[in-house]
Amino acid sequence: MCKNYILNILDNTQYDVYSSIKSVKALWKVVNKKFKVEVAIMKKFIIGNFLDFKMVESKIIMGQVQELQLTLFNIYSKNMVINEYFQETAIIVKLSLS
């Protein structure tokens, strides 16, 4: 019954891959590891967006500020924390010279 609960949350392509695993414990370990890796990749992508963000003079400043705020919101919504001093310094570096 537990195996069916686990398989039920997967989409069809994942179901086909994991349905051949016999043991519930083995299935749980494999699926849990896969999703932990996906979460880590997602967090790395979000932090990368923050670090790679550059403000340019050709765009409206408020739009860029909102984009940066959205990136920071995504970071905090995933329960990640950025040191306040690092965050301030990174934002100052991203500002254009003008």
- Tell me how far apart the alpha carbons of residues 83 and 78 are, in angstroms, rounded to a whole number: 15
Rounded to the nearest integer, the mean pLDDT of the chain is: 85
Which pLDDT band holds residue 2 (cuts at 50, 70, 90)?
Answer: confident
Share of the chain above pLDDT 90, in %: 10
- Tell me how far apart the alpha carbons of residues 75 and 33 are, in angstroms, rounded to a whole number: 22
Which pLDDT band holds residue 98 (cuts at 50, 70, 90)?
Answer: low
Segment 4-26, tens digit of pLDDT: 777 877 777 887 788 888 888 88
Which pLDDT band holds residue 94 (cuts at 50, 70, 90)?
Answer: confident
Helix axis angle for 24-52 and 61-77, nearest 10°, is 150
